[in-house]
Structure 1
Amino acid sequence: MQGFRDQFGHLQCGVYGVGGTVGPLIATSLVRRGLHWSIFYIIPLAIATLCLPGSGWAFWGYERIPLSTQQQSRKNYISKPTLFGNIFIFAYQGAEVAISGWVVSFLVSYRGGDLTKVGYVTAGFWGGITFGRFLLSYVSSMIGERIFVFAITAGTLVLQLLVWFVPSVIGNSIAIGNSIAVALAGVLLGPIYPAATGILVRLIPKQMQVSSFSFIAGVGSSGGAFVPFLTGLLAQHAGTWVLHPICISLFVAMEVSWFLLSEKHKSTE
């Protein structure tokens, strides 16, 4: 049963990456055809409208959580796995969305990229995430999530430094060089979320998992909103290069919180 849950989690996260890959391709295609970029939002609005009835049907008979369980949930929020899980996922989703949203602006401003072409870099990033989640997630279960996440987070940090300081990774082609570096960063970032979830499932007691994972997911989503906003705020005054030190700081925070989070898991293995 545990193996099935792990495989389903990998599949779910991989499908999320597929959407992240297809979206930028569609948006870039619209821009190249002379359409205003805001037209793109009609597509996710239509998809969300179609999904709404299905979501209502799926949870129609879901039982309401008893009040006593809700009160107990508040205590779960201050448990060690939940607290450090919040920090880790906040930093992870913040870096993920910030890179996706701002790397194109950085390439246009500091690498002389063509807006109609570098938009595909974002698709490459999400394609890397999808590839990593479908394939590398299984590697993490073989060598252990703890060491795996340490290693790939460090690798992502190195690739972030390459994009920041090296104009081109291959030859003189900015498009090819930066696309490969950003896509590789996506490959390494991809399996982190499923691997972290695997550790958290083992650390958080079963009766606490619904409330704790809901809280962690909520805090993580706020990271995906706050960090890109902060990046944009600072970019107005200093330039879009601020994306890189922000993401590097988040990767360091991920390493520290992961050490504190998975330390207990290591002692119980």
Structure 2
Amino acid sequence: MSVPGTPAEPADAIDALPTLNDPPKNKFRLMSCCFQNFLGGLIDAAPGALIPYMETYYGIGYAEVSLIFIGNALGFIMAAPFVDQIRQRLGRAKTIALSQLCVAIGFIPFICAAPFPSVVIAYFFIGFGLALQLAIANVFCANLRNNTTMLGAMHGSYGVGGTIGPLVATSIASSGAIWSRYYLITLGLALFNACFSLWSFWGYEKELRGGNESNVLSETSSRGADQMSMMLLAFKSKVVILGAIFIFAYQGAEVSISGWVISFLIATRNGNPSAVGYVTSGFWAGITLGRFALSPIGAKIGEKSFVYILVAGAAIFQLLVWLVPNIIGEAVSLAIVGLLLGPVYPCAAVVFTRNLSRREQVSGMGIISAFGSSGGAVAPFTTGLLAQAAGTFVLHPIAIGLFAVMCLCWLGQPSIRKRTE
């Protein structure tokens, strides 16, 4: 299956696909992508454990604290039109370093425990930086050989961060220290990432000059295609539109579960905040294990079919979290939900990138990532508003509804395009 309007690709291009060891610095570039996603996990998983403490510190409710998710989404949305333009002007090395500096700037109001509006604004910078790094990292890993495994490792690192984040955040907050001290750790990692990514990706375009990706990109530039035309091309793509809605629903469900399940256990199951705060780590541990262990299975049996199985299973176990009134049983079910959701993103990213031309990939994945973050804001924000009015149980029907949206979008996604490279 081919994409209309894209040039045919040479049959021998398979030899041009870079591997983990060719060029030699690719192994360090993959490590850099993993470190960046590890930081993303630390950032996204912490609010679930810290929201109860933030509510107490600022004297606010579910609806107000949900604004942090909106700030994060606005950062992603603002970054989407400029990701490829920034990459073309600065190169990958400087673009990723810039992304980490934006994230680091966002941590300053947290560390200072600044007024809550400043925290919401800080999340804008964090979202902007994460959008840059995610689009570049997705395209880099998807264009390596064994791309499903590489994407599984990259997104699995996000799960590792998501597993560790609530453990550390709960330990700090429950020990009597102010909750914002957690962000000293993330600030240090962001600064490390800025340096390491700058070194590892330095000279990337020169190494690939004449290879499949940079060759197509340079030909595209020589034809005079500007950023606006690239964005319009991506928006016209069925792959991008359905992919954006799919990731919107996926990330909305993931962040809603992570962000609000602790509040559900405290309010509905009378859980102790210092104890149930660790339940989120089980969810992220499941995601981590799923991405490392189950992602290769998707490549063997086919990503399209595998995703249907994963989403259906996640919906069943989410229903158990809702209906079984036992905290231990709910914690186990939640971990299984994470296990099944884990491989979904890397499998989906493979399908998206394989169905997009090289010309569309960076812009297309930037749009998909931006919509994903929007889902990671709209869904938890909506959950917070409804929880304030009706109760935290609303988390579960929202999550299950988003799983249904994922299945519908996946049904409309074209079958994976067979490429010759």
Normalising by structure 1, report the TM-score: 0.90
Q: Distance in 2 between matches of 1:8 and 1:230?
A: 34
Root mean square deviation of aligned Cα:
2.2
1:225 aligns with 2:377: yes
- Structure 2 counterparts to residues 247-266 of structure 1, below 5 A: 247-261=399-413, 264-265=414-415
Q: Distance in 2 between matches of 1:16 and 1:257?
A: 24
Is the 2:354–2:416 Cα contact (8 Å) retained in structure 1? Answer: no
Q: Distance in 1 between matches of 2:294 and 2:275?
A: 28
Name structure 1 gaps, 5 residues minimum. Answer: 169-173
Residue 61 of structure 1: how far off its partner (Å): 6.3
Residue 224 of structure 1: how far off its partner (Å): 1.2
- Higher mean alpha-carbon deviation, 54-63 vs 44-53, is at 54-63
1:15 aligns with 2:157: yes
> Whose Rg is larger?
2
Residue 132 of structure 1: how far off its partner (Å): 0.1
- After superposition, what is the alpha-carbon deviation per residue over 1:182-234, rounded to whole angstroms, capped at 9, x for unaligned? 10000000000011011112211122111101111111122112221221122
Residue 58 of structure 1: how far off its partner (Å): 5.3
Residue type at the aligned position of 1:211: S
Q: Distance in 1 between matches of 2:153 and 2:201?
A: 21
Aligned residues: 261
Q: Distance in 2 between matches of 1:124 and 1:75?
A: 41
Aligned counterpart, 1:133: 291
Q: Distance in 1 between matches of 2:197 and 2:417?
A: 40
Aligned counterpart, 1:204: 356
Residue 239 of structure 1: how far off its partner (Å): 1.2
Pick the aligned partner of 1:117 from 268, 275, 298: 275
Pick the aligned partner of 1:35 from 155, 174, 177: 177
Aligned counterpart, 2:23: none
1:72 aligns with 2:229: yes
Q: Distance in 1 between matches of 2:297 and 2:226?
A: 37
Residue 118 of structure 1: how far off its partner (Å): 0.6
- After superposition, what is the alpha-carbon deviation per residue over 1:12-52, rounded to whole angstroms, capped at 9, x for unaligned? 01111111111111011113312232222222123223323
Q: Distance in 2 between matches of 1:33 and 1:267?
A: 53
Residue 55 of structure 1: how far off its partner (Å): 4.2
Aligned counterpart, 2:210: none
Is the 2:351–2:416 Cα contact (8 Å) retained in structure 1? Answer: no
SS in 2 for 1:183: helix
Residue type at the aligned position of 1:265: S
Pick the aligned partner of 2:191 from 46, 49, 65: 49
Name structure 2 gaps, 5 residues minimum. Answer: 1-16, 18-143, 206-216
Q: Percent identity?
A: 48
Residue type at the aligned position of 2:157: V
- Higher mean alpha-carbon deviation, 137-146 vs 31-40, is at 31-40
- Pick closer, same or farther for the CA change 1:45–1:121 going to 2, 3 Å: same
